[in-house]
Structure 1
Amino acid sequence: MDLLKTVFGIDVSSRKSNVCIMVNDQKVNDYAISNDMVGFNQLLDDLKQVTNPQIIFEATGVYSRRLQAFLNMHELRYVMMNPLEAKRKTKDDLHQNKTDKLDAMYLAKLQSEHPQRLAYVQSEEYQELMANNRIYEQASHDLITNKNRLHKAIQLTFPEIEHVMATPRGKNYWSIVLRFPHPDIVLETKEADIIDFLKSLSGIGKKRANDIMQKLIRLAKVACPAVKKDSAYVHGLKIAINNILSAEEECQTALQEMAKLAPKRDLEILTSIPGIGENTALRIISELGDIRRFKNPNQLNAFVGVDPQVYESGNLTAHLSISKRGTAIGRKVLYLAINQIQSAKKAGNPCHIADYYEKRKRSSETASHKKAAIASIHKLLRTIFALIKNDQLYSYDVAKHNQRLLS
């Protein structure tokens, strides 16, 4: 029987990883490996020399993904720590210096003295779901950035064009601005050519094209641009619009891929909650993964990072802010879902989560929307957990009945 407890603490950076090996709480070796097949095989050789090696490293985004994939390929279990959680659990050592070698040692020491839970390995489908959601998140960020960039550029080139359509957004509007970014370009173009261009856009017929053309010319005649039509600002405006169109396409493609991969029953259950549409449901599933793997809703709360931090000293026990040790994007999507649930109630679709939000707001005059929303996220996660575990669609009457039983 092997009584040796061997821990491999690994600090992963962009090009290399530092490895610290501890046996029965004593450091026996440390070295650096390259983050490629040569380095990982060097690590594998050492792992094979040990019975039941314990492996611990921080989730450092794209850098740790290659190590994670290599360990999965060889069916090796590991602990993957959230960096914030790892920092909290190792800060008691009060080490003044910070080096990659020391970080690897402190991870190994943490696992030796206080064993952490092994990471759950998601199926490939759920990994692809999350990857597509991250693409969607980045594209959404790019969309907002370029919309702001476009608005600023238009104020210099042709601000009046923002009134050419009922709402200054959408593919047709952006296509019009891309074609006519400056009033001089409008006035230099024949009316028939403007109409032909407008008719080429989706949903615009001959009559509407003529109306938009006349309005566009009127706006161009009264415009007083700050720059000329060949200005760099006009060029920047065109870049922003092309980026917007590209980002919108990326968002739609990512959502389509998520729709193919997401479990249909889970999607049906989540969209049964008033206010949660298909896009939001897809993003929630992508971030939470297979909810059935959690034993209770508290584990789900901890995974998302909305569980409270607890500080204990003597007879004092204080509940601090949320831990934030889970996925920030997941918390963002759930926060969005709470806002949508609130809007649905105002539109006549009641939900006990919206009731709970309003109750929290009424309970304290100083309660902010953010605090009430975070408390409501707890309620939403418990609801999602119960519905999926029991394979049930949402019912407001059933939810209210259950609330009365618990109160």
Structure 2
Amino acid sequence: MDLLKTVFGIDVSSRKSNVCIMVNGQKVNDYAISNEMVGFNQLLDDLKQVTNPQIIFEATGVYSRRLQAFLDKHEFRYVLMNPLEAKRKTKDDLHQNKTDKLDALYLAKLQSEHPQRLAYVQSEEYQELMANNRIYEQALHDLITNKNRLHKAIQLTFPEIEHLMANPRGKNYWSIVLRFPHPDIVLETKEADIIDFLKSLSGIGEKRANDLAQRLIRLAKLAPKRDLEILKSIPGIAENTALRIISELGDIRRFKNPNQLNAFVGVDPQVYESGSLAAHLSISKRGTAIGRYLAINQIQSAKKARNPCHIADYYEKRKRSSETASHKKAAIASIHKLLRTIFALIKNDQLYSYDVAKHNQRFLS
């Protein structure tokens, strides 16, 4: 009868694994192997020298799965430890210090002194199902990531297209986006050709295709070219700044009110509430820092612009209203007014007018 108890503690990392061999609680060898067939075969040679070797390692995701697959292929049983459980057990059972590294030696000691339950090895069919499910989960994650990236790209090229359909996420929607990723492509395409393309999509008939084509053309005409013209009409906003504002804020028409736009840019006030006390703190800064920078840049440029601007007037008035008024408070208040102005002009498809702004503050404030 073989009375020797041989334990292989394996510390798995990305490129290599450290192996510690203990016999009856005494360390007899340690070495490193590469995490590929050459290294695994080196480990296999040692495992075959032992009767009923006990193998223990942590579940480290994709790295440990390669070792698992190799051991399963050669029909070796093993202990697969949850990393958190392994740390707790080595600390509690082996009096490990917090600063000690959880390595192959500690894993081997744990199995030698406090044997852990062997991992349940499922049949090949279930293992294949599990592997395929992991591939599916990764593919699903990649799909969501790519859709989010595509959404951001659309915000730069043709944000209005998101208003084309009630469900801007279905297969037909993405087919239309792929065919018309920019408003210029819509406007350069004959209406009849647009209708033919839409009719080729699943579930879209003649009437629906005509309605969608008309709506797509209208949205293309609303797209950033008009927004660019509107923004450039505001004193202090040149073409470069206007393009950056559009790129950063996207389609402003998607906001229901100016407060939502303020929140997106991050100049909405934080509110502290405790019992019956409510106090406004500093701005939230939850939104885009670039958007806040561009707004401040407009205010500074507007003061130097030849054409008068009610926002620059407002900023100077706030600064003069109190000797202690800080630039920051005046700037934030002016950013609010600028964003409300931008929101109102684009929503109403109007160019900036100093006279209208001065005499219709209820409309633009």
Instruction: Provide the rounded CA distance (Å) in 2 between the counterparts of 1:122 and 1:394.
Output: 70
The TM-score normalised by the length of structure 2 is 0.57
> Which has the bigger relative contact order, CA under 8 A and spacing at least 6?
1
Alpha-carbon distance, 1:46 to partner: 1.9
**Matched residues in 2 for 1:63 and 1:120: separation?**
19
User: How big is each residue's C-alpha offset from its partner over 1:51-107, in whole Å with a ceiling of 9 and x where there is no partner?
Assistant: 221111112222222222222222111111122211221234889999999600000
Determine if contact 2:4/2:23 at 8 Å carries over to the other structure.
yes
Q: Is the 8 A contact 1:307 1:323 kept in 2?
A: yes
Give the alignment of 1:1-16 within 5 angstroms: 1-16=1-16
**5 Å matches for 1:270-349?**
none
In 2, Cα distance between the equivalents of 1:46 and 1:395? 85
Q: Could you tell me which residue of structure 2 aligns to residue 243 of structure 1?
A: none
SS in 1 for 2:101: helix
Unpaired segments ≥5 residues, structure 2: none
Cα distance, 1:193 vs structure 2: 1.0
- Write out per-residue CA displacement over residues 231-260 of structure 1, whole angstroms, 9 at most, x where no aligned residue: xxxxxxxxxxxxxxxxxxxxxxxxxxxxxx
Aligned length: 365
Percent identity of equivalent pairs: 95
1:290 Cα shift? 50
Task: Check conservation: 1:272, 1:394, Cα contact below 8 A.
Answer: yes
**Pairwise CA distance, 1:30:** 0.9
Rounded to whole Å, the distance in 1 between the matches of 2:178 and 2:44 is: 55
Decide whether the 8 Å contact of 1:85 with 1:325 is kept in 2: no
Cα 1:84–1:284 shift into 2, 3 Å: farther
Shift in Å at residue 108 of structure 1?
Answer: 0.2
CA-to-partner distance for each residue in 1:173-205, whole Å, 9 max, x for gaps?
011112112222211110111111111211212
* TM-score after normalising by structure 1: 0.51
CA change 1:284–1:109 in 2 (3 A) is: farther
Structure-2 change in CA distance of 1:206 and 1:328 (3 Å) = same
| Residue 111 of structure 1, CA deviation | 0.4
**300 and 51 in structure 1: CA distance in 2 versus 1, 3 angstrom threshold:** farther
CA RMSD of aligned residues (A): 20.4
Cα offset, 1:146, TM superposition: 2.8
Greater CA drift, 16-25 or 298-307? 298-307
Q: What are the Cα deviations for residues 265-316 of structure 1, in whole angstroms up to 9, with x where unaligned? A: 9999999999999999999999999999999999999999999999999999
* Change in 2 beyond 3 A, CA 1:376/1:108: farther
Q: Aligned partners of 1:107 and 1:27: how far apart in 2?
A: 12
How far the C-alpha of 1:22 sits from its partner, in A, is 0.9
- Give the distance between the partners of 1:50 and 1:396, measured in 2 at CA: 90
Cα–Cα, structure 1 residues 314 and 55, in superposed 2: closer, same or farther, change >3 Å? farther
Give the 4+ runs in structure 1 shifted more than 6 A.
93-102, 261-331, 335-407
Distance 1:120 1:279 in 2: 63
CA drift at 1:39: 2.4
